[in-house]
Structure 1
Amino acid sequence: MPRSAATDRRVHFAGGRYGSGEVSEEELMQDLGEGDDELLGDAMTEDLGDEMDDDGNSEAEDDEGMGDDPFNPVELGLKEINNLAHFGVSSHRPGSGVAELLSDDLDKYWQSDGQQPHQLTIHFLRRVEIRAIRFYVDYNQDESYTPTHIVFYAGTGHHDLIQFAELTLTNPVGWQDVPIANSGGGADGHSLCCWIVQMHIKENHQNGKDTHIRGIKIYALDDQSLGSAAREPARGPRMDLSANHVPAPAAHGLNEQSLRELLDAFERHPISNTESVREPVIR
């Protein structure tokens, strides 16, 4: 039984060919009958779904790109030194303490459970040269638990802590950098050299009482990434002891022949580092 023109148009429409221009909108509406409302709705939903998928994927990619953290410690010659420190908090809820704070899972967090200001104390096992301090907060998830005013202190002990940074945050989402440039430490004056770092959370958004911190990272210079030249201690000018080149300034009053005889004597009778040193004898 041959199909009618209207049936062919419906087939074209259902196959997504309406969008390609084979069937105009006027022709389509004329040929679709009362029983074709479902077909029209399905096709429109399909077309809208395709557009939403395309836009959705694009927006998802954009959101993912915006969420990427540009901080790359390897490229900056830094290494994390959390393992060199003991972390302590002034208070915490069960299941939301230091372990959750140091976890790489940003869905976990430290939640305080006491009076403000809430304190996080980082006590290092030795004196460190800090180049970066970063912590993670998320206002979209935590709202009134998100800090808005934080003061940072550092020193050699609890008795000599000095304020070195202060942050005011407004609806923050993501990793926050603590300003430590010009702290005075290191070869360039941009390092924070200390034993202890303290973080005092004085206020939260919406006058919230307790706080959420979802992660913290401390970084120092990575000697391995700076190259062997940076790790070698400073040395004086090297002397070439070959027979064909004996610099005159190194002779210290000896002529060339005497210096060569002295070097030959050292080669024939080397001094061993393992020889025992005799005790001085009083005569």
Structure 2
Amino acid sequence: METDEQDVRVTAVNGYDWHVALPKNIHEGDLPLRDISFQAVWTVSSCKSEGNGVHELLHDSVEKYWQSDGPQPHTVTIEFPKKTDICFVMMYLDFKNDESYTPSKIIVYTGSSLVHLDDGVPVEFNEPTGWQFIDLRSRRTNRPSRAMVIQLQVVHNHQNGRDTHIRHIRVLGPNKSRFASHFRLHAGSPTSVDDFILPPVSNLNKLINSCMAIR
């Protein structure tokens, strides 16, 4: 995962239209970006009470928010059922209303599981209002990265606040995956190409199964 500190500070003022906060350097092959948030399972480290949890993070109303209730770091964990192409994480923050509850530093981790996360990338905010984007694309190619898990850790709030408010989070992916199952060959257990034996062409079901994607 790679990110650019200059890019993550772009803001918008609309509570639900994250499109206006996106950078301009998006590869045309990835457009239009898709909101893939609901493909994942979401977990928060704590929440103040019923009505301040995951449901509020995924709600369209800017009046709703997740509020943590515990020691830092406060975490949001997003788990996809398989490796997924990811471009951006969008966050709606509102320093004007939330003040000391507003995150000032978040560390973003991605990986193949909760026990196989990368070293994390710190992202800092200065009194943000509106949508902020965190770029998870490859710095070299500007194309999507692939991961099964994203974890956001709030390690510091403005004014040394204890608990945190995040009003929305969205995960954005490309319009089409570059690793669609029908473009990939099942590798199976063979150690070389010569060891890989296709079933007879006459057996269509076995042929199709042999060409399914690795999960």
User: Do Structure 1 and Structure 2 share a fold, with TM-score over 0.5?
Assistant: yes
RMSD between superposed Cα atoms in Å: 3.1
The Cα of 1:126 is off from its aligned counterpart by 1.3
Q: 4+ runs of 1 displaced by more than 3 Å?
A: 66-69, 71-76, 230-234, 272-275
1:143 aligns with 2:99: yes
The Cα of 1:163 is off from its aligned counterpart by 3.2
Structure 2 unmatched ranges of 5 or more: 1-11, 185-200, 205-215
Q: Which letter maps to 2:155?
A: K
1:156 aligns with 2:156: no
1:201 aligns with 2:154: yes
1:79 aligns with 2:12: no
- Residues 139 and 173 of structure 1 are in contact (CA less than 8 Å); yes or no, is this contact kept in structure 2? yes
1:67 aligns with 2:13: yes
- The aligned counterpart of 1:107 is 63
The Cα of 1:179 is off from its aligned counterpart by 2.4
Give 3-state SS (helix, strand or coil) of 2:119's partner.
Answer: strand
1:97 aligns with 2:39: no
**Change over 3 Å in CA distance of 1:231–1:90 after alignment to 2:** closer
Structure 1 unmatched ranges of 5 or more: 1-65, 235-271, 276-283
2:126 to 170, 190, 210: 170
Pair member with larger Rg: 1
Q: Which letter maps to 2:162?
A: K
1:131 aligns with 2:74: no
1:84-121 deviation line (CA, Å, top 9, x unaligned): 10000000011200111110111100000000000000
Give 3-state SS (helix, strand or coil) of 1:67's partner.
Answer: coil
1:191-237 deviation line (CA, Å, top 9, x unaligned): 2211100000001011100000000111111139x9xxx99959xxx
| Alpha-carbon distance in 1 for matches of 2:173, 2:135 | 14
- Residues 223 and 231 of structure 1 are in contact (CA less than 8 Å); yes or no, is this contact kept in structure 2? no
| Alpha-carbon distance in 1 for matches of 2:127, 2:21 | 20
| Alpha-carbon distance in 2 for matches of 1:112, 1:172 | 19
- Residues 86 and 137 of structure 2 are in contact (CA less than 8 Å); yes or no, is this contact kept in structure 1? no
1:120 aligns with 2:76: yes
| Alpha-carbon distance in 1 for matches of 2:152, 2:76 | 5
| Alpha-carbon distance in 2 for matches of 1:145, 1:132 | 23
1:151-192 deviation line (CA, Å, top 9, x unaligned): 0001111111113432111100011111223267xxx46322
How many pairs are equivalent?
166
Q: Which letter maps to 2:57?
A: L
- Residues 21 and 132 of structure 2 are in contact (CA less than 8 Å); yes or no, is this contact kept in structure 1? no
- Residues 183 and 191 of structure 1 are in contact (CA less than 8 Å); yes or no, is this contact kept in structure 2? no
**Change over 3 Å in CA distance of 1:221–1:162 after alignment to 2:** same
- Residues 138 and 173 of structure 1 are in contact (CA less than 8 Å); yes or no, is this contact kept in structure 2? yes
1:24-65 deviation line (CA, Å, top 9, x unaligned): xxxxxxxxxxxxxxxxxxxxxxxxxxxxxxxxxxxxxxxxxx
Q: Which letter maps to 1:175?
A: W
Structure whose residues are more often strand by fraction: 2
| Alpha-carbon distance in 1 for matches of 2:182, 2:63 | 43
The structure, 1 or 2, with the larger RCO (C-alpha pairs under 8 Å, 6+ apart) is 2
Q: Which letter maps to 1:83?
A: F
Please report the TM-score for the alignment, with normalisation by the length of structure 1: 0.52
The Cα of 1:76 is off from its aligned counterpart by 3.3
- Residues 157 and 196 of structure 1 are in contact (CA less than 8 Å); yes or no, is this contact kept in structure 2? yes
| Alpha-carbon distance in 2 for matches of 1:158, 1:232 | 28
- Residues 165 and 179 of structure 1 are in contact (CA less than 8 Å); yes or no, is this contact kept in structure 2? no
